[in-house]
Amino acid sequence: MEAKKIVIIGGVAGGASAAARARRLSEEAEILLLERGPSVSFANCGLPYHIGGEIADRSRLLVTTPESLRARFRIGVRTRSAVTAIDPAKKEVEIKDLESGEVYRETYDALILSPGAEPVRPPIPGINSPNVLTLRNMEDMDRIIQALDGKQHATVIGGGYIGLEMAEALRRRKIATALIELAPQVMNPADPEMVSILHQELTLNGVDLRLGTSVTGFSDSAKGLKLSLSSGETLETGIAVLAIGVKPETSLAKAAGLALGPRGGIKVNDRMQTSDPAIYAVGDAVEVTDFITRQPALIPLAGPANRQGRIAADNIFGRDTRYQDTQGTAICKVFNLAVGMTGLSEKAAKRAGISFEKVYIHPTSHASYYPGAAPLSIKMLFDPQSGKVLGAQAVGSDGVDKRIDVFAVAIRAGMTVFDLENLELSYAPPFGSAKDPVNFAGFVAANALRGDVRLCHAEDVINPAAQQKLLDVRTPGEVSVGTIPGSMNIPADELRGRLGELSKEKEYFVFCRVGHRGYLACRTLTQNGFKCRNLTGGYITYQRTIGMAAHEMPEAHHPENDFGDQDFQPTAKDTLLKRVKTIDACGLQCPGPILHLKQAIDDIQVGEAVCVTATDPGFVADAPAWCNTTGHELASLEPAEKGSYRATIIKRSPAVCGNVQQSGKRAMTNVVFSNDFDKAMAAFIIANGAAAAGYEVTLFFTFWGLNILRKAGPVTARKNLIEKMFGFMMPKGPDRLTLSKMNMAGMGLAMIKGIMRHKNVMSLPALIGQAKLSGVHLVVCTMSMDLMGIKSEELIDGIEEGGVAMYIDRLSRSSAGLFIS
Ligand code: FAD
């Protein structure tokens, strides 16, 4: 083979892989690896774990040293050597020795660019403060560790995987930690209902999670930094770690005239060749093709970078090896949980206009009777015609990696859900189930495609139409912890004997805890001539979709020794308790832990306590809900050993419990009389806030208030002339409202909407959607409709009609009521 000189820019994931592969392919080649930093081939993925202390020995992060690359591979390694320019015509690079300052040139026959991606630093006032740090390499890591010295509080900005890993690392160092994320969810590539449980996990582990919030400014303060937030608040912190994303390092490529792709990365072909045939580029700096959508994408992950490095070297030495696109297989540890994904998410499918169906399953990581079984939640997307698997996401404390990897292979191999049914996967009770969760996802999806059952989703049950009815087939014990508003309960085992209670005119949205009993019930109903659909993923998916996560729990439910104590010693209140019963409900799924809790509470005296340990993450939401409905007191709720959760509940007297049971959930009933934009905003902000705080909220729309709920487009409704004229003069829906003051022919309104966008305040239509998702009752006054000539067809879906009696009834059950006029 002809001797070649290969120059590689960047000596970590892609660069070091390319260099080692090049040597394996050619003993004659001259290989020169140029790295700006002091180390090559370090484990950037391990950096957060050294900060957190799991990887105690810093040197373990240095996977290879320049010396060992020289000795084993005869690679010329020059660290602290920054390439400052490329001259494609002369096939030369310009290098600056960062130690001596010397600038010199090297020629190449083939050049490989692997410069990676740099952290995004938006132009926020004060962002250049030395206390605002980023994490990309060993030096950044050392700087963060040094800056944390003596600090009591730190803030992570950005809830992607680096941000999440940093938040955990900081809590492991017993530092009070805030995590600020602009989106309403962490881990943005995943779908929101799959990560709402991570919000709970973060909060339980003492992270002050602020979603839907951005930082608008940094200023130095006595404690280190003061952050101004989009919420209008300020936050005193020691340091801030900026982890809001990365952007490809393309400056060298751009200056050399290499083509960039539409997403801003270096454009390459499937041989990793740039627009200059002698120059290859790999890793985070390049644009790839998304395996599913076939769209250009930036997917900065270590696996693709390493494989691309190999492929570039292969092609330089005449091997026809092709990169086969990126499907975005990723996993992240968040305290006791892991979240993993591969292929298409629902969000991405919608963005790309790809049609899909989805199923959710909530099995256990291994046979539920073998100790240590942990709940696992899986969402799978597939093509509704062919059944081809398009994407999967999983979250749980055990077994996420194994399932995501099987899905990743299935997607790569172009398998369908029917193939998943037939996969033969390893099984013994400590490791899995005879029907593995991946097989199960296949069964559920294939059942739907074969027409054995029709599916419905949380989005459907939140907004049922008039002829649709919700049927909860769980046991009364399960229902006592919570159900979907408006549903009727017939336990699955009683269904055949109670079919007379159902109507063949209606369509039933059937649900159980995870979807299995719902499926059985649907089979019974269908064969008896009823119309029905099964809620895939059942009540658990519904809860996760509406975001019933514990980060919204009242303060009292958090460990009281918050911040600075990762071990969560019992609280002072706990130690004073006479803890007569300890229950191990690990491995049990809902309602198991709650049923055990109830049994134990029945057996003890008032004032005594039960301490329950459970592995079901749903228990974190169920325990407070059960206490709320029964009146017993939740003394503490905290993460415990091996991914479990521990709740301490004090038995309260029948008098207290009786009051709670009588009054039920706290309620608020507000009248919305006005159709002014500002007043409508206030009405929905209050309603959403109250719903999040656990109130059952009713908004009663009367007179002008009705206009807020009108559909924007043309609606055919039978009206007389006066009604038509009246309807024409009044605003149609939230986008047509005006300000009550300073509207200035719409200028004031436009200004307010601009400010709202800038400050990330939800729009009025989004607030209305959120209110519906949170179960806020939107009731329209039928008398006002009649007076103003507004017909039901003109109003948005999912609202109730009622009169003054309904209003008075709701008000009499409420502890608060406002008149918004
Ligand atoms: P890098 O590995 O970043 O290497 C680029 C190198 O090029 C840098 O060392 C840089 O100094 C050098 N360089 C740049 N310009 C020049 C120049 N002009 N001259 C000389 N040298 C130059 N991915 C995962 O898949 N899983 C994970 O768990 C994971 N965790 C991560 C955690 C952290 C904290 C970080 C920062 C990244 C993580 N990643 C993870 C991403 C993964 O590390 C990257 O996708 C991968 O390293 C990209 O490889 P690369 O070769 O393109 O760039």
Q: Tell me which range, 219-223, 273-277, 619-623, is most confidently predicted by mean pLDDT.
A: 273-277
- pLDDT at residue number 566: 30
Q: Is the C-beta atom of 15 inside 6 A of ligand 1?
A: yes
Q: At what angle do helices 192-204 and 618-630 cross, to 10 degrees?
A: 70
Please tell me if the CB atom of residue 10 comes closer than 6 angstroms to any atom of ligand 1: yes
With contact defined as beta carbons under 8 Å apart, do 220 and 236 qualify? Answer: no
Mutation pick for ligand 1 pocket among 39, 42, 44 (CB with most ligand atoms within 8 Å): 44
Average pLDDT estimate for 57-80: 94
Please determine, for residue 810, whether its predicted confidence score (pLDDT) is greater than 90: no
Within 294-436, strands assigned E span 296-297, 330-334, 337-343, 357-361, 376-382, 389-396
Q: Residue 52 pLDDT more than 60?
A: yes
What integer best gives the mean pLDDT of the chain? 90
Q: Each residue of 294-304: pLDDT tens digit?
A: 999 999 999 99
Q: What helix, strand, coil percent values describe the chain, rounded to 5?
A: 35, 25, 40
Asked if residue 284 lies in contact with residue 117, where contact means CB atoms within 8 angstroms, the answer is yes
Q: What is the pLDDT of residue 436?
A: 97
Residues 15, 16, 20, 23: what is their CA dihedral angle, to the nearest 10 degrees?
Answer: 50
Band of residue 324 on the pLDDT scale cut at 50, 70, 90: very high
| Residue 412 to residue 329: CA distance in whole angstroms | 11
199's tokens: 């919000």
CA distances from 296 to 160, 246, 292, 326 (A): 21, 17, 11, 10
76 bridge partner residues: 32
Measured from the Cα of 252, ligand 1's closest atom is 18
Residues contacting residue 324 through CB under 8 Å, at least 6 positions apart: 270, 291
> What span, in angstroms and rounded, lies between the C-alpha atoms of 34 and 79?
6
Confidence check: pLDDT of 638 > 90:
no
Type of residue found at 110: A
pLDDT at 816: 85
693 pLDDT band (50/70/90 cuts)? Answer: low
Regarding the beta carbon of 652 and ligand 1, being less than 6 Å apart is answered: no
Question: How many angstroms does the Cα of residue 108 sit away from the middle of ligand 1?
Answer: 23
The Cα-based distances of 268 to 10, 22, 115, 276, 619 in angstroms read: 17, 19, 14, 9, 49
According to the model, what pLDDT value does residue 815 have?
Answer: 84
Q: Write the burial class of residue 428 (CB in 10 Å: 0-12 exposed, 13-18 middle, 19+ buried).
A: exposed
- Residues 819 and 671 sit within 8 Å (Cβ to Cβ): yes
Query: Hey, which of 32, 42, 45 would you mutate to test ligand 1's pocket, going by the most ligand atoms within 8 Å of its Cβ?
Result: 45
Residue 313 three-state SS: helix
User: In the chain, what percentage of residues exceed pLDDT 90?
Assistant: 68
* Spatial distance between the Cα atoms of 682 and 705, rounded to a whole number of angstroms: 13
Highest mean pLDDT among 388-397, 469-478, 652-661: 388-397
List CB contacts of 422: < 8 A, sequence separation 6 or more: 442
Q: What percentage of the chain reaches a pLDDT higher than 70?
A: 93
pLDDT at 807: 80
Q: Are 677 and 739 in contact (CB under 8 A)?
A: yes
Residue minimizing CA distance to atom 31 of ligand 1: 45
Sign of CA dihedral 714, 718, 719, 721: positive
Report CA(136)–ligand 1 centroid distance (Å): 7
Ligand 1 proximity of 411 Cβ (cutoff 6 Å): no
Q: In which band, very low, low, confident or very high, does the pLDDT at 663 lie, cut at 50, 70 and 90?
A: very low
Burial of 648 (0-12, 13-18, 19+ CB in 10 A): buried
pLDDT, average across residues 633-658: 80
Q: For residue range 352-379, list pLDDT tens digits in order.
A: 999 999 999 999 999 988 988 999 999 9
35 lines ligand 1 (CB under 6 A): yes
Q: What is the spatial order of strands in the sheet that 81-87 belongs to?
A: 81-87, 92-97, 103-107
CA 306 – CA 311 distance, rounded (Å) = 9
Ligand 1 centroid, distance to 94 Cα (angstroms): 22
Question: Which residue has the least CA distance to atom 32 on ligand 1?
Answer: 45
- Of 9, 12, 341, the one to substitute when testing ligand 1's pocket (max ligand atoms within 8 A of C-beta) is 12
Ligand 1 centroid from CA 11, angstroms? 9
Q: Is the per-residue pLDDT at 389 higher than 80?
A: yes
Structure-token pair, residue 733: 């829906």
Contact 604, 359 (CB under 8 A): no
Q: How far is the CA of 38 from the centre of ligand 1 (A)?
A: 14
Which protein residue's CA is at the shortest distance from atom 53 of ligand 1?
116
Rounded to whole angstroms, the Cα distance separating 467 from 483 reads 20
Whether residue 505 is predicted with pLDDT greater than 50 in this model: the reply is yes
Angstrom distance (rounded) from CA 660 to CA 625: 12
Nearest CA to ligand 1 atom 1: 116
Q: Ligand 1: does its nearest atom lie under 6 Å from the Cβ of 115?
A: yes
Return the pLDDT at 113.
98
Residue found under tokens 């436009």: 750
Partner residues linked to 297 by β-bridges:
288
pLDDT at residue 1 tops 80: no
Q: Answer whether 341 contacts ligand 1 (Cβ < 6 A).
A: no
Question: Does residue 172 have a pLDDT over 80?
Answer: yes
Tokens linked to 168: 């955990």
Q: How far apart are the CA of 46 and the centre of ligand 1, in A?
A: 12
**pLDDT confidence of residue 561:** 28
Do the strands 81-87 and 92-97 form a parallel or antiparallel pair, or are they unpaired?
Answer: antiparallel
What is the atom index within ligand 1 of the atom nearest the CA of 284? 52
CA of 58 to the centre of ligand 1 (A): 18
Tell me the mean pLDDT in the region 700-708. Answer: 93
Amino acid at 721: L
Separation of alpha carbons 148 and 142, rounded Å: 10
Give buried/exposed letters for 342-366 (b at 16+ CB in 10 A, else e). bbbbbebbeeeebebbbbbbbbbbb
For CA atoms 653, 655, 656, 658, give the dihedral sign: positive
What does the pLDDT average to over 18-22?
Answer: 97
Q: Collapsing DSSP states into helix, strand and coil, what is residue 170?
A: helix
163 C-beta closer than 6 A to ligand 1: no
- Whether 147 is in the pocket of ligand 1, judged by its Cβ within 6 Å, is no
Residue ID of nearest Cα to ligand 1 atom 27: 45
Catalytic residues: 45
Residue 594: pLDDT band by 50, 70, 90 thresholds? Answer: confident
Cα torsion 76, 135, 162, 58 to 10°: value is 70
- Cβ–Cβ < 8 Å for 31, 76: yes
Q: Give the span between the Cα atoms of 434 and 411, in whole angstroms.
A: 22
Residue 42, C-beta contacts closer than 8 angstroms, at least 6 positions apart: 12, 61, 62, 63, 137, 138
Ligand 1 center to 286 CA (angstroms):
12
3-class DSSP state of 260: strand
The region of weakest confidence among 40-44, 133-137, 552-556, 690-694 is 552-556
Tell the residue nearest (CA) to atom 38 of ligand 1.
45
Strand partners, 648: 611, 636
Candidates 540, 546, 522, 550; CA nearest to 360 is 540
Contacts 24+ apart (CB under 8 A), 305-308: 305/13, 305/14, 305/17, 305/114, 305/116, 306/13, 306/14, 306/17, 307/17, 308/14, 308/272, 308/282, 308/283
16 in ligand 1 pocket by Cβ < 6 Å?
Answer: no
CA 259-264-267 angle, to 5 degrees, is 35
- Which atom of ligand 1 sits closest to the CA of residue 37? 11
427 is written with which tokens? 């099984």
pLDDT for 238-294, tens place per residue? 999 999 999 999 999 999 999 999 999 999 999 999 999 999 999 999 999 999 999
Region at 715 (left for phi over 0; alpha for psi -120 to 50; beta for the rest)? beta
Take residue 702 and report the two structure tokens written for it.
């009367």
- CA-proximal residue: ligand 1, atom 29 (nearest): 45
